[in-house]
């Protein structure tokens, strides 16, 4: 059995290397448009399942692992910012507030899918305009959901985390390990 990570994320690749010495990476090119009737909390489950199913089409006897992370502030999902002004708006929204981060995972093995999600809460210190501008100058916010990287310079904004740190990065490895063990034991 081969293990395949259905993600091009370098952070997920690094985290999965804590569970497996050898695995391959195959990015799932899917349409990430969500159905109108899906709740925000279910978005990462929906997207991770779509990614896993896409890659598993050609790897039925392999273990395919897919994940998707969303940042939810109030009643909106904060995706990857399109430009600097959108990143700034997101950071201003997160400043001094608590938001929810949900990572959904899907394991696909021998035509069976197992999905789960891990929810965490992240609280930011209040940020000054100067702090936000300096962070934007690093370029780090541009390819991150919610416009920050908790494992990077964005860590300087975090007052508190309630939940799984690795899930906030993008792959809840301790829960993932247990789900994989359960799935393979049933085989």
Q: Which residues are catalytic?
A: 68
Question: HSE on the CB side for 65, CA within 13 Å?
Answer: 28
Please, what sign has the CA dihedral across residues 150, 152, 154, 159? positive
Helix axes 84-94, 129-138, angle to 10 degrees: 130
Q: Which two tokens stand for residue 160?
A: 């508190």
Q: Tell me how many degrees the CA angle 107-113-119 measures, rounded to the nearest 5.
A: 60
Residue 140: half-sphere exposure toward Cβ, Cα within 13 Å: 15
Partners of 104 in the beta sheet?
68, 117
3-class DSSP state of 77: strand
């Amino acid at each position: 059995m081969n293990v395949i990570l259905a993600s091009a994320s370098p952070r997920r690749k690094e985290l999965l290397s804590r569970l497996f010495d050898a695995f391959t990476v195959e990015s799932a090119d899917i349409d990430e448009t969500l159905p109108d009737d899906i709740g925000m909390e279910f978005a990462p489950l929906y997207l991770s399942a779509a990614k896993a199913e896409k890659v598993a089409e050609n790897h039925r006897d392999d273990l395919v692992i897919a994940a998707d992370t969303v940042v939810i502030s109030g009643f909106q999902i904060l995706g990857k910012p399109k430009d600097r002004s959108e990143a700034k708006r997101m950071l201003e929204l997160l400043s001094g507030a608590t938001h929810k981060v949900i990572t959904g995972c899907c394991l696909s093995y021998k035509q069976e899918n197992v999905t789960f999600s891990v929810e965490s809460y992240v609280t930011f210190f209040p940020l000054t305009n100067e702090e936000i501008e300096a962070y934007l100058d690093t370029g780090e916010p541009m390819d991150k959901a919610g416009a920050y990287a908790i494992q990077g310079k964005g860590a300087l904004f975090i007052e508190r985390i309630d939940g799984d740190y690795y899930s906030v990065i993008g792959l809840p490895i301790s829960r993932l390990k247990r789900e994989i063990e359960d799935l393979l034991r049933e085989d």
